[in-house]
Structure 1
Amino acid sequence: MTERADQNANSPAVGRPESMPDAQPHSDASPADRPPEIAAFDVVVVGAGFGGLYMLHRLRGLGLSARVFEAADGVGGTWYWNRYPGARCDVESMQYSYSFSEELQQEWHWPERFSAQPDILRYANHVADRFDLRRDIRFETRVTSVAWDEAAERWTVETDRGDRITARFCIMATGCLSAARMPDIPGLDSFEGDTYHTGHWPHEGVDLAGRRVAVIGTGSSAIQAIPVIAEQAGHVTVFQRTPNFSIPSRNKPMDAEYENLWKSDYRARRLKARTMRNGILYHLNDKGAMEVSEEDRLREYEARWEGGGIAFMAAYNNLALDAEANRTAADFVREKIRSIVRDPAKAEALMPRDYPIGTKRICVDTDYFETFNRDNVSLVDLRKTPIEAIAPKGVRTTDGTVHEADAIVFATGFDAMTGALLKAGIRGRGGLALADKWEEGPRSYLGLMVAGFPNLFTITGPGSPSVLSNMMVSIEQHVDWIADCLAYLGATGVRTIEATQEAEDAWVAHGMEVANRTLYPRAASWYMGANIPGKPRVFMPYIGGVGVYREKCDEIAAKGYEGFRLSPPPATAARAEAAE
């Protein structure tokens, strides 16, 4: 274990009522016919992705009893569900991994620069086995209700298997991109072929060889999947509403020298990454795009394009802040699209023009634009001819054309950041539903807690850097903060912690202020909830930066959890007040 983990293992545990026995782990983590569980724990964790796995590990180090509920039949979260062709991470493998165990960092080998879904899922399973985590996880179990009992000062968690668990603390590790969205298109039930969603891809795989495939959507999942599907299918028809900026990944097998360079200096590199704006260690230019000549600017963009990956957006320090600077980067990528796609009409349709580059998720691809040069790939511009309905034989657009298909792939994204949380049926003080609290958009303090919902934590919740960062860095920061908080509560005799309304209001206002200094709100993105009909348009993640955010969280904790109401007051503070 690392030094941090060793320290945590000796931290004081949060006390449980004397009458409450220790919960005994089951011998089988996921029997299909297991009886409902009626038990009490210190903590319930919802979700067994990377957030839930590390949270469970830290809770054990604190000496707390915990139960994890997971809807899937295995660990991995988004990497369990998203098995579509071409699925891969857009953060380099050497950085998209846990840092809490030096042994784990040294022993694991990533086969590629940007790892594919099967390798990431293999890593998640390795972690679960290495730290013996499965015995406290109940798989194939979906949480249906999370309710606060004010008299008992405990959460009651119920599941679709009839479980009824009470716990002092509930930690939502449900992920930011885990509630897949199916579009409401008339006639879907009439389609005679097969339908798939990239977020719920069949685990046994799909044979699309020689088939006519319609792909609806051109976001990140589609941009990864379309080139692979096109190599298999007889014909692919891509239905695009909004074109996306995408940068080539330049993916390749892991270079042994590069891997060893990271492993020889992992600790220092991880510490540096935690201070970066998005938690990813790469070279951020300290100049603005308009401070250099056009020749130098094009040379820098070309170097970033050839280097591959999302580091392109770090070419200059003001691409997210200044419209003119942003235009230079967008123009460069549009010219690249024009040079790659041979059909001028297709190239024009594939060029984003109505939002700044990077304000919708910047995508990373392998031969995405090149795929539109294939004879078996066609593009339907839904801004000119929207989808009218799904017909028995394919997809009908408003010009009356039925684009025939044997299979439809919906790459239509997720109800991001809030979808999975709202599906859990969370109710706080006075029975207040989180869905009602968030009727006009998500509100939280630090993305960690919500006023009116004591002892409920959200890992990478709305109001934190989350999806604008390396998720592994943000997950570890949140888990460590929560674990340290629980240790503090146990050591000082505090039973409940809750964000104050004033602190929540101030944090929401600050988040909006920071977002409005940037170009991000100019895009109708899923960051804004714009992909879900009726969802409030609120910029959900915190854009102030991972490093700045971490400092703020640490400062708040150091001040005795400023902005949180602790009840009863910490014993140490009460004694100090009495002495005065």
Structure 2
Amino acid sequence: MGSIPNEEEHDGLVVGLGFGGLYSLYLLKQLGLDVKAVESGEDVGGTWYWNKYPGARSDVTSDTYRYSWDKDLLQTSPWEHNYLLQPELQSYFREIATKHDLYRHISFNSDLQSAQWDETTNTWRATTSDNKTYVVRYLITSLGITHKPYIPDIPDLDKFTGQITHTSQWTDSISWENKRIAVIGSGASGVQITSTLAPKAESLTQFIRHAQYVLPAQYRRITPAEREVINSKYERLWHEVFTSAVGFGFPEPNRPTLSLSPEDREQIFQDLWNEGSGFRFLFGGFSDLAVDEAANKEAIKFIHGKIKEIVKDEEKVKVLTSNDLFARRPLTDDFYYERFNQPNIHAVDLKKTPIVKAVPQGLQTEDGKIHEVDLIVFATGFDATDGSYYRIDWKGRAGKRLEDHWLGQGGPRTHIGISTSSFPNLFFINGPGVPFANNPPVTEIGAEFVRDLIVRSERLKKDGKSLGVVESSKEAEEKWLEICTNIGNLTLFARTGSWFFGENVPGRKHSPRFFFGGIARWRATIAEIKAKGYEGFDFGEKK
């Protein structure tokens, strides 16, 4: 314990306990370091603790949306369907924390509020919402790609007399059955919650700025025989995940879309539709849907045909049909389009009739119409990847603020997605600059690399060759930003104004939040960095 009340000294502090934070805590505990973890929620799970809205479910299949490193739990943990529901994921995280004795290292209801680097002691001084201060040598953050909610500014929202919530702030106290509901937004949470609430709502109106391409999940039970096969191919499955681009466990073919006849192309799209998964549709049928506009338009034509086939009301079809490229996060839900065949389920095109203000009884659009509702649900997404960092008061070397370091230069910049200059011994798990891919394997690779950096730092310190400080160089992070930008600009993702480039938040400049080169290439780059003596990282070695 420190000498000041409510002050603790530790080797490391882990912030956030989703996939990245839990694994980081486990790894540092395995090193024998004195480690503490703080979590703003009341239990482990990260995103899957907070997002409890009706219909919340992973859009990655159950066999790969989990850790690879705990084979026993992967094979024995109960899961009955091909996609995991939020309660199942929450249960899985609890199993991990219990099995590996992690709970005793965690303080819950503890939100990191500030962190200041002390150059005289080479430590971080971190303060939390429960009035505690942690003095630590290593600060590992796993704040989540989608954690800080984004809520648009609607005039007079405080005059609305009904209930208001964001999907990530949903609680059981919200009354929604037989209510008139407004859902604002059409991303993953907007699609899932619309599909789930619609059958029991008195009415539901979804306000859509960007219509999406929603692929079926084909949600179903996994038979015991299927589960046995999945368990038997554990090593092969995870080898394929870690040597692939996006890491979802399905083959990533090399065939270009236009290399096939229209009939064969249509059949593959239909097979992908029947099999389910937005990610599989985008990455598992052809090699070029995300990079070639002509190929992308073939996929768009197919999905547009499905929307017209499913939705019977022509006016609703117009609102639900996107004119954008199929190059945002691919969405997955089984009954989304079908819900709009209910006469009490409506769609409003916000580009044609934007919301101008809230009124006591609901929302008023530009055409003068008042949409009377009892509940407004913001499914407007998040200030993604880097947004969670700006709510914390960071001060690095010479008092430098992280927000200034990143947004002051047009966007976040990291070395390999792991660290940033002027902020020594601060590490990011799933921070800006990691691959756009399946989250668990990305967090595993990142957490293991951070562990390796800390092992090297501790060895040098023990040998009297350094002060135990790890810091990336400005040149290294600028180089990685250039790589992320160049590869990102080769994709169609760069042309849709999405959160992949920070453009969902007004005022943000177009700048990549991800590395679009894939998991295998990222792993190879990390291996090369290590082989070159951790190139781009300064360990403060004594000359």
- Residues 317-376 of structure 1 show CA distances to partners (whole Å, capped at 9, x for unaligned) of 01111110111011111111111110112112111112x21x211100120011100111
C-alpha separation in 2, matches of 1:281 and 1:94: 8
Paired residue secondary structure (1:90): strand
C-alpha separation in 2, matches of 1:205 and 1:91: 29
C-alpha separation in 2, matches of 1:65 and 1:366: 46
Match among 495, 518, 528 for residue 501 of structure 2: 528
Deviation of 1:491 after TM superposition, in Å, equals 1.9
Aligned partners of 2:460 and 2:541 also within 8 Å: no
What is the correspondence of 1:555-570 to structure 2 with a 5 Å cutoff? 555-569=528-542
Paired residue secondary structure (1:166): strand
Letter in 1 for 2:295: A
Which position in structure 1 is the counterpart of 2:136?
Answer: 167
C-alpha separation in 2, matches of 1:517 and 1:412: 27
Cα 1:253/1:206, change in 2 over 3 Å: farther
TM-score (norm 1): 0.90
Paired residue secondary structure (2:363): strand
Deviation of 1:157 after TM superposition, in Å, equals 0.3
Paired residue secondary structure (1:42): strand
C-alpha separation in 2, matches of 1:161 and 1:563: 36
Match among 419, 422, 433 for residue 463 of structure 1: 433
Which position in structure 1 is the counterpart of 2:77?
Answer: 108
What is the correspondence of 1:5-404 to structure 2 with a 5 Å cutoff? 37-202=6-171, 204=172, 206-309=174-277, 310-313=279-282, 314-354=284-324, 356-357=325-326, 359-404=327-372
C-alpha separation in 2, matches of 1:489 and 1:271: 29
Letter in 2 for 1:318: D
Deviation of 1:205 after TM superposition, in Å, equals 5.2
Match among 513, 517, 522 for residue 544 of structure 1: 517
C-alpha separation in 2, matches of 1:159 and 1:168: 17
C-alpha separation in 2, matches of 1:252 and 1:84: 20
Match among 405, 423, 428 for residue 453 of structure 1: 423
Q: Can you give the 5+ residue segments of structure 1 that lack an aligned partner in the other structure?
A: 1-20, 24-34, 575-580
Which position in structure 2 is the counterpart of 1:507?
Answer: 480
Deviation of 1:196 after TM superposition, in Å, equals 1.3
Is 1:409 the equivalent of 2:377?
yes
Is 1:426 the equivalent of 2:399?
no
Which position in structure 2 is the counterpart of 1:18?
Answer: none
Aligned partners of 1:224 and 1:366 also within 8 Å: no
Cα RMSD, aligned residues only: 1.3
Paired residue secondary structure (1:83): coil
Letter in 1 for 2:485: M
Which position in structure 2 is the counterpart of 1:31?
Answer: none
C-alpha separation in 1, matches of 2:382 and 2:248: 24
How many residue pairs get aligned? The number is: 533
- Residues 108-160 of structure 1 show CA distances to partners (whole Å, capped at 9, x for unaligned) of 12121011111101111111111111111111011111111111111110112
Aligned partners of 1:301 and 1:312 also within 8 Å: yes
Deviation of 1:255 after TM superposition, in Å, equals 2.3
Aligned partners of 1:172 and 1:421 also within 8 Å: no
Letter in 2 for 1:273: V
C-alpha separation in 2, matches of 1:436 and 1:447: 18
Aligned partners of 1:171 and 1:456 also within 8 Å: yes
TM-score (norm 2): 0.96
Q: Can you give the 5+ residue segments of structure 2 that lack an aligned partner in the other structure?
A: none
Taking only the aligned residue pairs, the percentage that are identical comes to 36
C-alpha separation in 2, matches of 1:37 and 1:278: 44
Is 1:473 the equivalent of 2:441?
yes
